[in-house]
Amino acid sequence: MTIDYLGNATEEDLPLLKIPYFLNTVRVGWPSPADDYIERPIDLNEYLIKNIAATYFVRVSGDSMINAHIGDGAILIVDRSIEPKNKMIVIASIDGSYTCKRLILKPKVCLVSENPKYSPILIAKESELEIAGSVIAAINTY
Which residues participate in catalysis according to the annotation?
A: 64, 101
List 108, 122, 130, 140, residue binding another protein (CB under 8 A): 130
Q: Is 48 in the site for another protein (CB under 8 A)?
A: no
Q: Which is nearer to another protein, 69 or 98 (CB)?
A: 98
Task: Give, for 140, the enclosing helix (H) or strand (E).
Answer: none
What distance in Å separates the CA atoms of residue 96 and residue 3, rounded to the nearest whole number?
53
Q: Is 91 in the site for another protein (CB under 8 A)?
A: yes
What distance in Å separates the CA atoms of residue 64 and residue 138, rounded to the nearest whole number?
14
Residues 114, 65 contacting (CB under 8 angstroms): yes
What distance in Å separates the CA atoms of residue 68 and residue 56, rounded to the nearest whole number?
20
Chain positions contacting another protein, by CB under 8 A: 1-4, 6-7, 9-10, 13-15, 17-20, 51-54, 56-62, 64, 75-76, 80-81, 91, 93, 96-100, 130, 132
